[in-house]
Amino acid sequence: MPKIRVLVVDDAVIVRSRVSKILSTDPELEVVGVAANGRIALAKISHVNPDVIILDIEMPEMDGLQTLLAIRQKYPSLPVIMYSTSTHRGAIATLEALSLGASDYATKPSNLGNVEAATQHIQDDLIPKIKVFGTFFTPSAITHPVVFPIRSDIQQVEVVAIGVSTGGPNALAVLLKEFPADLSVPILIVQHMPPMFTKLLAKQLSSKCQIPVNEAVSGQILEPGHAWIAPGDFHLIVQRDKTMVRLVTHQASPENSCRPSVDVLLRSVAQVYGAGAIAVILTGMGQDGLHGCQCIREVGGQVLAQDKATSVVWGMPGFVVNAGLANKILPLNQIADEIMQRIRFDQVPPSYL
């Protein structure tokens, strides 16, 4: 197999050097060039022919957002992973980059001087994304898919729980803006993102949607017509409190290398809402949400999965589909309407599934 060719673009010498060195230790990767700013990078692309570009956001002469726009004009399908700082400014710029067509993002190590920690961070956060976008990725088929009996009765929908990762901010914007202001159920979301990013994402989505979108806070009571996003580095669960259901956040160990984890949320949703839950698995790498969807189906709940054609990465939904857990597989622009139809029906004929 040929190596994945990577172009590293960053104005900081230490970042270019460290990232290039760490990437080069992976036998599947080859750093074919580095650039100190966007202008140099654009001039190099045609010469080094990269499979993936790692692009810094804050650079002199031509910053990352300007460079991204130029790349998209000339190379619309070339994968670009934004390499941002875990700061308020970095998070805002990263969300803007994703809306402008960046494939994904990774955060820089907080301390490049700590060689061991920086190396581990890059190996865990950046390299897997390079490999996903630098190769053709399809989830492995499940040998023995789980088979659930067709139910003749479906409990009234009480909650919608969404799991999403790579490509999530744009997918959530498309999905959530279709829900009406009088939506009769609450929405819970796990988007794989670090602290600060999730709060800004919630604010950004709320400005585009008819329903309010907020970062979840422990103790909040779930209300219909509201959406909550799990805060970065915290799991989100629901707990019943007499006649109410409350949000709870905690920092138990990561699951599937994720915190927040979709599986953690869906398990609690299955316990609290049972057959009244709809789980929605959108674009994302990895298989977080697979076990949680099985929990949802086991209690009689419903599972919808985004199709491959409209997913940035058909990892999370692909694993759910291949396991036989999805009641329906849909393009992104049809999922909101499907959810609304299922919310409106207390009794759904078997053929609807």
Q: Which residues pair with 160 in a beta bridge?
A: 187, 278
Which pairing describes strands 159-164 and 52-56: parallel, antiparallel, or unpaired? unpaired
Residue with tokens 């979108």: 213
User: How far apart, in Å, do the first and last CA atoms of the chain sit?
Assistant: 41
Nearest CA among 327, 341, 338, 330 for reference residue 150:
327
> Of the listed 11, 56, 288, 307, which one is catalytic?
288
Q: Respond yes or no: is residue 235 known to be catalytic.
A: no
Q: Respond yes or no: is residue 182 known to be catalytic.
A: no
Helix (H) or strand (E) holding 163: strand 159-164
Per this entry, what is the length of the chain?
A: 353
Q: Respond yes or no: is residue 86 known to be catalytic.
A: no
Token code pair at residue 129: 């994304």
CB 277 within 8 A of CB 296: yes
Report DSSP state, residue 124.
I
> Of the listed 121, 192, 235, 291, which one is catalytic?
192
Helix (H) or strand (E) holding 267: helix 262-273
> Of the listed 51, 103, 121, 165, which one is catalytic?
165
Name the residues annotated as catalytic: 165, 192, 288
